[in-house]
């Protein structure tokens, strides 16, 4: 029984090492041969993080090698607010300063 346990542990460690090496090499060769199985499962999340990082660089003019201490603590909120304001201005084309009194009188009654 002990021999079977040792063999099983050896095979398990070998398969883990092989899977890790295969994953690394498949990501290194993405430029040469790209198949649907080579793309990570969470491609949407990766693209969102890339676009988010691009937005941070554009908004805050961060250097190419920025560290976490260089980024404001609430960067996510600031970036969201910037994109939200831009989307609101594009979709609804609101004037910069609009108040309740700018609405027609029949809407207020």
Per-residue pLDDT of the chain (109 residues; tens, 9 = 90+): 566 666 666 666 655 444 444 555 555 555 555 555 555 556 666 677 777 777 776 666 656 665 656 555 565 666 677 777 777 666 655 556 656 666 666 555 5
Rounded (10°) CA dihedral 62, 68, 73, 75: 40
pTM for this prediction: 0.19
Q: Is residue 24 within 8 Å of residue 18, measured between CB atoms?
A: no
Q: Where are the domains of the chain?
A: 1-34, 40-109
């Amino acid at each position: 029984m002990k021999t079977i346990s040792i063999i099983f542990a050896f095979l398990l460690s070998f398969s883990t090492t092989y899977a890790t090496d295969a994953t690394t090499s498949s990501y290194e060769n993405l430029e040469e041969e790209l198949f649907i199985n080579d793309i990570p499962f969470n491609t949407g999340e990766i693209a969102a993080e890339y676009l988010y990082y691009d937005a941070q660089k554009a908004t805050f003019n961060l250097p190419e090698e920025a560290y976490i201490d260089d980024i404001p603590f609430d960067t996510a909120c600031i970036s969201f607010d910037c994109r939200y304001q831009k989307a609101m201005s594009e979709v609804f084309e609101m004037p910069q300063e609009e108040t309740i009194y700018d609405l027609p009188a029949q809407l207020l009654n």
